[in-house]
Amino acid sequence: VCHMYDVLRVCVDIGGIHNKEKKKMKEIKIGRSKRGTSRTENGRERGREWGKLRRLRKRQMKVRARDSLYVCMSVRGRDRKSLLNICDKGRKEEMYINMREREREREREREREREREREREREREREREREREEWRHKC
């Protein structure tokens, strides 16, 4: 069975009120509903990450979803669904960025291809010139 997880990278304030700079990255795995697994297993998975969230919540930390979308939020009073939404947003954003990146890459590739084509064309031209020269000499 494939265990689908949303890994939420969170930026946690461990400095509290006095030391704002002190931050720590944490990864929270949030299980998605898994097809083909028993409910108890689901429950156990869910229980585990709810525990993580609860522990964070207890210390009243700010949690930021660092999935390329910088959403600042506190886990306090947020439910799993909104966290997942934030994850998804981040993922969509990432996909979008990757798409643009790939597009640019393709563009560059095309440019290089054109350059090579031109080079070949010039080469052929030179070749023809040489042949003409030789013909002239023969004549």
For 62, the domain range is 5-98
**β-sheet bridge partners, residue 62:** 74
pLDDT in tens, 18-42: 555 555 555 555 444 444 344 444 4
Has residue 82 been placed in a domain?
yes
pLDDT of 101: 78
Name every residue whose Cβ is closer than 8 Å to that of residue 50 and which is 6 or more positions away in sequence: 80
Q: So what's the pLDDT on residue 45? A: 44
Indicate whether this model's pTM tops 0.85.
Answer: no
User: What single letter denotes the amino acid at residue 68?
Assistant: S
How many CB atoms within 10 Å of residue 132?
A: 10
Confidence of residue 119 (pLDDT cuts 50, 70, 90): very high
Based on the structure, what is the number of domains in the chain?
1
Task: State the average pLDDT over residues 70-77.
Answer: 36
Inside any domain, residue 118: no
